[in-house]
Structure formats: structure tokens, C-alpha cells
A and B are shown apart, each in its own frame.
Chain A
Amino acid sequence: MKKDSHDSKSGKPVKSRKTLRQILCDEKVAGYVFILPFIIGFVAFMALPMLLSFGFSFTRYNILDSPVFIGLENYKTMFFEDSKFWRVFGVTMYYVFASVPLRLLAALLVALLLVRKSKLSGFYRSVYYLPSIIGSSVAVAILWKRMFASDGVINSLLGLLGIPCGIAWLGRSDTAIWMLILLAVWQFGSSMLIFLSGLKQIPVNLYEAATIDGAGWGMKFFKITFPMLTPSIFFNTVNQLITGFMVFTQSYIITQGGPRDSTRFYAVYMYQNSFTYNKLGYGCAMAWFMILVVGLLTLILFKTQNKWVYYESEG
């Protein structure tokens, strides 16, 4: 398939004149040579499972028996009958739109602070990255539960500050989700790292030139740093959006979706349907609806990127 596309396009008219080396050096051909590993991997390992999961979404499939085709039944149930579905969807949207901007903001601020060269910056970078290293293990779940317990560290700290407080932060349906958002913000390390490497890519001479022109700190930030950083910001936004919708472990191991479904995220409900309730067909339908939503949001981001993302190579 790959061969056809470039043979017919670039190969035919020039066949006799170009050597193999020349053909390979043609940008149109070279592009395929470079992305060939991805195409092979995608076709071999992803395409089939992806198509299958799409197919499953039109079936009743409990994994143990063969799937039974039921048309759009799953989608109908999802949109019109499952009262939990929209609740779960709303909770997830809330989480994504609260945690992604906050997390990015924290990551950006810290990255700006840490890009400064000092003897300790390596140390700081490591320390600020540490929470992201411990990831979403069971240990983090226990830790978070204990910190925000009614008799936990946070409440004792508040007590020391003269605000006696016995709130079960993770036990109340109005506060629990914010504890998970806080956890996401606390683990801003990966975005920070990307911002840091983005900052490092900005040519130093731009700043030097600006200094000579007498630009102040603010001027430098808005005229150089921010525009040059937009590719990283764009990347982080898209990526956090995608991973935000897939948030699973935090809810699954810390709150188990409770209290009163206030932290039952889309991916958790999808997983429960697929494996705990043995309705993989329904789970797949949920997955593809999520892909549609995330895909649309991503598309919007991509469509707007030429308005605000600055690429050195294109600018």
C-alpha cells in the first residue's frame, strides 16, 4: 500500500532518469521511509485491535462467549437509558477542565523558575519531579487517603493554623473530586519536564539581542519566551487533554468512584462495564464515544494552532 502511493505519484514519470538513491531522497518518498516503522507497527499491532474494539461496540460481548451483533443497541442504552452515563461524563469533563489548566499552569511556573542556572537547579528539578515518579501506585492512594483523612495531616495543619477542621475531604461528594484534581496538579512533573526542554531550546542570542534593545523582563517573556514555548504548550495541552479523559487509577484505587459517584470517571465506568459487569461491547461503545469527544477537542486545538502556536521552522 505504501509502495503504491509513491510509485504512482513520483516514480512513474521520472523512473528512467532517477537512481534509487535519488528516489529515496525525494521528500515524498523519504517521508514514508521515515514513518515506515510507525505504519508497520500501527498496522501490525494497533489497527486490528482497534477495528475489533469498534466492531465489539455493536455487539453484546461478555468476553467468555462469542459476541452477538445487536446493532446500535449499546449506543442507544448509553445515550438514552443509562442514567449513570451522563453523570460519569459530566464528572470527567469537570475533572479535565479543572485539572488540565491548573496542572499546566503549575508546570509552566515551576519550569520558568527552574530554568535558571544555579548550582541547586538540578536538585530542585529532581525534587519537583519526584511526585511524578511515584506515579499512581497503591502507595500514593494510601498516602492521599491518609493525608486528607478527617484525622489526617492536612486537618492537623489547619488546626495548628487555628482553623479546627474535621472534614473527611475524600468522604464528601463535594470535596472528593478536588482531592483528585489536587493530586493531578501535584504530579505536574512530566509537563514541567517538557516545558523545561522547550525553554532550553530557545536560542540564547534572542535574549541577548533583546537585552541590547533594552527590553525588560516582561517584554522578554511575552515577545520571546512565550511565543517560542507555544509548541510545548500546545503539545502539553493536547496530551494532558487525552490523558485527562483517560484518568483511571486515581479514582479506581483512592475513592473507588465514590462518594455518591462524585469521582466515578469515564474510564473507570468503562472498565467496570467491560470487565466487572462483563459487558465489553458496551465498554467499547463508551470508548468510541470518548474517542469521538477527545478527537473533536483535539481537532479544535489543531485547527486553532496556527492562530497562536509559533513554529520557528514555519515562521
Chain B
Amino acid sequence: MRYGSKRKRQIASVVYHAAAIAGAVIMVYPVVWMIASSFKDSDLIIRTATQLIADVPTLENYVVGWKGFAGYDFGMFFKNSFVIAGISTVGAVISSAIVAFGFARCEFRFKGFWFACMLVAMMLPFQIIMIPQYIMFNRLGWVGSYLPIIVPQFFGQGFFIFLNVQFIRGLPRDLDEAAKMDGCSVYGIFVRIVLPLIKPSLVTSAIFSFMWKWDDFLSPLLYLNDPKTYPVSYALKMFSDPTVGSDWGAMFAMASLSLIPIFLIFLTMQKYLVEGIASTGIKG
């Protein structure tokens, strides 16, 4: 079926691809610029900014950047980032899906209140609560470990809860009714019916969660003390120092490397976005 329709619309297809590629070039140019710049001498990045490819490409930035700071290299920082982002993502995706089902499919007292709490928590700027939160985690004795960064992820994240709620509300209810007739409990409906159907939003949550935790430097900044435990996002900040001078070459090099894991996660995950309800074809 796919091949047949493709032949029919060959011309449309050419137009489509031409437009898509043109758009892609605009989208991707700045990223290419960043990667290309990472192969330039550090002091040439700004001065030869309009020129994409360096006259004499160098790997110097990667060598200098990778060795990191004070004997802690980027191998270590990458490992830490994987631990933080990986565990956080698992926690955030699972807990948010569970909570979302409660909000989307169950009627209970004070539901509006809790939902509002969740939204307000989303609106709260981190900068404002970071001092009280620090004091709190410090009292718990968690400062200096990954706990303040990772543990809260296991209790649902507003953004993902809300996202899943929207998806679950988009699912036809007659599925639940049918399952109920078959003697399935609410919990059964969640696990057997809803969970498989909200795969696109679970995947989306996972991509976002991984990316945001990978990029987040504020909580590592606050809660980690030992350079051995620093993640990449935080380490990247240390290439620039306004009081003395920055090594933008090394920063570009390591920033380019740090894109790879998120991009790979996206590449592998986005396949699952393709199959949603559409391909399973329910409600038929």
C-alpha cells in the first residue's frame, strides 16, 4: 500500500522533500556552525564567525576540553550525567503516568485543588525556591549527593503529568467500559488498556525528561560539592569565566559532544512516536 501511494504522488513528494530540506538547512545551520567552530582555534571562533569551516581544522579543543578540570575529565562527567538523567527519567516517566491516570480518569474529592497545586508548582521559578529547598535538603543531609536531584523526580513532574492527562483524556472511554465488563479493575484498565495507548506521550516524556535533566545545571550547582560528581551540563559552565577569560573552543567541543547522547536518545525514541493509536487502529 505504501509503495503504491508513493508512486502516485511522486511530484508532490519532490516538492515536499524540497521544502522540508530547505527548512532543515535553516534549522540546522546554527548547529552545524557550533560543531564546525569546535574545530577552530579557540581565539578564531569569534573573529572568523562568518566562515564556517576552519582554514586549519584542529582537534586541540577536544583534547583540551576532554581533560576537564583539576584532573577530573569529561569521561567522568559524562558518566555522571548518564546516571542522573537516566535514573531521573525512569522515575519521572513512570510516576507521572500513574499520577496522570488518577487525574484524567478518576473522580475524587479535592481533585481540582491538587491539580491546581501541580500547576502552581510548574509556575514557580526555581530561583525563588532554591534557597528554602537547599536549607531543607541540607537538613535532610542530602546535600553533596544525587538524592536532591533524583528523588523528587520519582513523585511525578507537573509537565509530564499534565501531558499524559491530556493524552488520556483523548482516549475513548468505551474502552474502559468494555474492560470493566470483562471484570477489569481500575488498576487493570490503567496497566492493560491505557498504558499501551499513551505510548507516544510516554516516549515524549522520556525524551524531554532525559534532555532536561541532561541540560540542567542549577540543581547540580546547588547540591553537588565534589567535582568527581559533576555532570556535563555543570562542567560546561566552567569553561567560561568573565573575570579571567574563557576557553570557548573547548566549550564548543564538549558542548558538541554532549549533544550526541540526547540526539541518540531522540533518534531511537522518535521511532516509537510513529506508531500510536493510528497504527494500532482501535475504535474500529
Chains A, B in direct contact (C-beta < 8 Å): yes
**Mask: chain A, 36-74; 1 = CB below 8 Å from B; 0 = not:** 011111101110111011001000000100000000000
- Distance from B196 Cβ to chain A, minimum over Cβ atoms (Å): 12
Give every chain A residue within 8 A of B230 (Cβ-Cβ): none
| Chain B residue, CB-CB nearest to A133 | B262
Give every chain A residue within 8 A of B186 (Cβ-Cβ): 25, 27, 30
**Mask: chain A, 262-281; 1 = CB below 8 Å from B; 0 = not:** 00000100110011000010
**Mask: chain B, 262-284; 1 = CB below 8 Å from A; 0 = not:** 11001100110111111101111
B99 A38 Cβ-Cβ under 8 A: yes
Which of A80-88, A94-102, A139-147 is found at the contact surface with chain B? A139-147
Which of B62-70, B71-79, B113-121 is found at the contact surface with chain A? B113-121
B172 A312 Cβ-Cβ under 8 A: yes
**Mask: chain B, 187-218; 1 = CB below 8 Å from A; 0 = not:** 10010000000001101100110010001000
B207 A193 Cβ-Cβ under 8 A: yes
A41 B154 Cβ-Cβ under 8 A: yes
Which of B24-32, B80-88, B220-228 is found at the contact surface with chain A? B24-32
Cβ of A105 within 8 Å of any chain B Cβ, yes or no, is no
| Chain B residue, CB-CB nearest to A114 | B20
**Cα of A204 to Cα of B284 in the assembled complex, Å:** 9
* Interface residues in B98-145 (C-beta closer than 8 Å to A): 98-99, 101-111, 114, 117-125, 127-129, 131-133, 136
Cβ of B93 within 8 Å of any chain A Cβ, yes or no, is no
Q: Name 14 A/B residue pairs within 8 A (Cβ), A-sorted.
A: A32-B102, A35-B102, A38-B95, A53-B132, A129-B266, A131-B28, A152-B50, A205-B281, A231-B169, A248-B127, A270-B128, A280-B131, A290-B123, A313-B105
| Chain B residue, CB-CB nearest to A27 | B106
**Mask: chain B, 151-177; 1 = CB below 8 Å from A; 0 = not:** 110111001011100111111110000
**Mask: chain A, 180-207; 1 = CB below 8 Å from B; 0 = not:** 0000001000100110111011111100
Cβ of A149 within 8 Å of any chain B Cβ, yes or no, is yes
Q: Is the interface of B mostly helix, strand, loop or mixed?
A: helix
Q: A239-B162, A287-B125 are in contact. Are A37 and B95 (CB under 8 A)?
A: yes
Q: A30-B187, A200-B274, A203-B283 are in contact. Are A291 and B123 (CB under 8 A)?
A: yes
Cβ of A3 within 8 Å of any chain B Cβ, yes or no, is no
Which of A11-19, A117-125, A170-178 is found at the contact surface with chain B? A117-125
B281 A134 Cβ-Cβ under 8 A: no
**Cα of A147 to Cα of B169 in the assembled complex, Å:** 43
**Cα of A295 to Cα of B124 in the assembled complex, Å:** 10
Give every chain B residue within 8 A of A37 (Cβ-Cβ): 95, 98-99, 154-156
Residues of B within 8 A of A (CB): 2, 6, 13, 16-17, 19-20, 23-24, 27-28, 30-31, 33-34, 45-46, 49-50, 95, 98-99, 101-111, 114, 117-125, 127-129, 131-133, 136, 151-152, 154-156, 159, 161-163, 166-173, 185-187, 190, 200-201, 203-204, 207-208, 211, 215, 236-237, 240, 248, 251-252, 255, 259, 262-263, 266-267, 270-271, 273-279, 281-284
| Chain A residue, CB-CB nearest to B200 | A197
Cβ of A260 within 8 Å of any chain B Cβ, yes or no, is no
B122 A242 Cβ-Cβ under 8 A: yes
A50 B20 Cβ-Cβ under 8 A: no
**Cα of A204 to Cα of B201 in the assembled complex, Å:** 18
B125 A270 Cβ-Cβ under 8 A: yes
**Mask: chain A, 18-29; 1 = CB below 8 Å from B; 0 = not:** 000000110111
A270 B127 Cβ-Cβ under 8 A: yes
* Interface residues in A121-170 (C-beta closer than 8 Å to B): 121-122, 124-131, 133-140, 142-144, 146-147, 149, 151-153, 156
Interface centre among B114, B132, B282 (most CB of A within 10 A): B132
Q: A34-B106, A246-B125, A295-B119 are in contact. Are A122 and B271 (CB under 8 A)?
A: yes
Q: Identify the 5 closest CB pairs spanning chains A and B, nearest first.
A: A41-B155, A34-B102, A31-B106, A200-B276, A197-B200
Give every chain B residue within 8 A of A117 (Cβ-Cβ): 2, 274
Give every chain B residue within 8 A of A287 (Cβ-Cβ): 124-125, 128
| Chain B residue, CB-CB nearest to A314 | B169
| Chain B residue, CB-CB nearest to A29 | B108
In the complex, which of the residues A120, A133, A152, A312 contacts B17, with contact meaning CB atoms closer than 8 Å? Answer: A120
| Number of interface residues, chain A, beta carbon within 8 A | 107
In the complex, which of the residues A56, A190, A203 contacts B277, with contact meaning CB atoms closer than 8 Å? Answer: A203
A313 B128 Cβ-Cβ under 8 A: no
| Chain B residue, CB-CB nearest to A232 | B166
Give every chain A residue within 8 A of B208 (Cβ-Cβ): 190, 193
In the complex, which of the residues A24, A152, A203, A295 contacts B278, with contact meaning CB atoms closer than 8 Å? Answer: A203
- Distance from A4 Cβ to chain B, minimum over Cβ atoms (Å): 10
Cβ of A284 within 8 Å of any chain B Cβ, yes or no, is yes
Cβ of A215 within 8 Å of any chain B Cβ, yes or no, is no
**Cα of A135 to Cα of B266 in the assembled complex, Å:** 14
- Distance from B97 Cβ to chain A, minimum over Cβ atoms (Å): 10
In the complex, which of the residues B101, B124, B166 contacts A234, with contact meaning CB atoms closer than 8 Å? Answer: B166
B170 A53 Cβ-Cβ under 8 A: no
A274 B127 Cβ-Cβ under 8 A: yes
Cβ of A110 within 8 Å of any chain B Cβ, yes or no, is yes
A156 B211 Cβ-Cβ under 8 A: no
A34 B255 Cβ-Cβ under 8 A: no
Give every chain A residue within 8 A of B27 (Cβ-Cβ): 127-128, 130-131, 186
